[in-house]
Structure 1
């Protein structure tokens, strides 16, 4: 259960104007980043969440734990934010939930953001972080990849690069409403969190002078064979729901063991508000259990 259980209509009424303010095409990305970091503590966090600042792959990162954590397995988490905003601070509450559910440290990477650092900077950073975890002593099959929105797309792109370039398969992929193809233009103008003008600005900023058909930029365009067990979650009311549905179908057609969870009445990456809303806490716990089973198959989930 969350620490505060807001009714869904109340949570939606509070969050909608906040997202309209923060994710606004008219605001410079630097201002959006500041607003998001300032507002992050309002999302709440589980008591006992511990975030240690570390370096990973040459970039800042946070190693998030909650209670005792095994050091033989870990999750590399790639935050969302359209490749232009977001940070370990904005995703610390979500990382805390996953740390509790998996019993493993969650490594939240502060990868480089566009437009200052367009594609493939974020993917290069994620690759370097994964390889450094191996250098630290983690076995690839004991490292799971997870991410939300743009970070979910980045996690998918990283799994493809690891397969093609290094012959490596992570333990699992945990994807929250992954942005698998930034080329696609949504039919609707907005959902509770995301709006079309902002998302198009983010897609252009991330692409820079790159090729929009590059599977590193749009991993939905890639061959998906040989990827690890994958969890995908999306809410039926969000702009990325249709894309997530098609990604799931493509994963299954490629023979990937895929679990697809659809919610109704939540919003894009509601997991960030898991400390405030019971259904968001439940869906976050589901992702954590999926990752735990992949990383610690002989273990059973702890109660509490």
Structure 2
């Protein structure tokens, strides 16, 4: 299936009602998950990308590998999907991950981490940690040759994972690619909704993920964790989405901590428009930008690998 270049007004007119119905705080989580999964059928995997079902960190996962030759020194991307920690799946992000694989030239590993409220914090973080460690211990990747990426809640999870890997294992990933990361679920949005996300749904997701935990735990709200020592970070957000102010704050906090940051702001898109990259050219463009950032990061070989 070829890409479709939908005009932005038409794409917004289609997606707005779909998200209003699907991401509704009064719907049972299982219904929300089914609706979002069904909508993902319109978003194809690009040609030349092989999707392989595997297990990673004792969870169902997918390895999306491009047809391009593998780099001389093995490298990969670990992708953590968004969905407020309560919805989202391998299916919802398969198209995005396939494009990321094609454009980085790297295998992308996507993990079906456990979802709240059935599995509150720290289940998702534990699963992400186990997946990364298995890429190192069983798949032969060096930590500094694995980039971690994610969107929305998955972006917050990617940030929390990097912090945990550095603190517990001394592993520093190659880079972080964060699409509108939800780095502090405690923070309330200034507006009631954007095209995709609404306040009541976000608060329900935050409560479901926290469970009986401590909202001040930096694993839950990594914006307030240790930022110094993180690898280069790419952040993308649209200026009209609810998480834009939080992304601005995260970028500033990272820079203050001495972290290299690339912050890209779009106008006229929506929260995680990269999911519709096969349908909207401008969404594809910002995904291509992140792919370039991640590929450049993993190509920065340590001195011991040179010569």
TM-score normalized by the length of structure 1? 0.96
| SS of alignment partner, residue 203 of structure 1 | helix
Give the Å deviation of 1:34: 0.9
- Structure 2: runs of 5 or more not aligned: 302-307
- 1:301 maps to none
Give the Å deviation of 1:69: 4.8
Indicate whether 1:17 and 2:20 are aligned.
no
Give the Å deviation of 1:45: 3.1
| SS of alignment partner, residue 50 of structure 2 | strand
Match of 1:96 among 95, 98, 116: 98
- Contact 1:44-1:273 within 8 A present in 2 as well: no
| Equivalent residues in 2 for 1:67-78, closer than 5 Å | 67-70=67-70, 72-78=74-80
Tell me the distance in 2 between the aligned counterparts of 1:19 and 1:51.
Answer: 27
- 1:256 maps to 259
| Equivalent residues in 2 for 1:93-242, closer than 5 Å | 93-135=95-137, 136-242=139-245
| SS of alignment partner, residue 33 of structure 1 | helix
| SS of alignment partner, residue 149 of structure 2 | strand
Tell me the distance in 1 between the aligned counterparts of 2:217 and 2:224.
Answer: 8
Listed one character per residue, the Cα deviations across residues 64-108 of structure 1 (whole Å, up to 9, x for unaligned) are: 123235271100000000000001110011001110111110000
Tell me the distance in 2 between the aligned counterparts of 1:51 and 1:296.
Answer: 24
Listed one character per residue, the Cα deviations across residues 183-216 of structure 1 (whole Å, up to 9, x for unaligned) are: 0111111000000000000000000000000000
Tell me the distance in 1 between the aligned counterparts of 2:146 and 2:113.
Answer: 18
TM-score normalized by the length of structure 2? 0.95
- Contact 1:44-1:276 within 8 A present in 2 as well: no
Give the Å deviation of 1:29: 0.5
Tell me the distance in 2 between the aligned counterparts of 1:17 and 1:43.
Answer: 17
Tell me the distance in 2 between the aligned counterparts of 1:251 and 1:297.
Answer: 21
- 2:36 maps to 36
- Contact 1:69-1:105 within 8 A present in 2 as well: no
- Contact 1:76-1:144 within 8 A present in 2 as well: yes
Task: Provide the alpha-carbon RMSD of the alignment.
Answer: 1.1
| SS of alignment partner, residue 79 of structure 2 | strand
Tell me the distance in 2 between the aligned counterparts of 1:80 and 1:143.
Answer: 19
Give the Å deviation of 1:297: 4.0
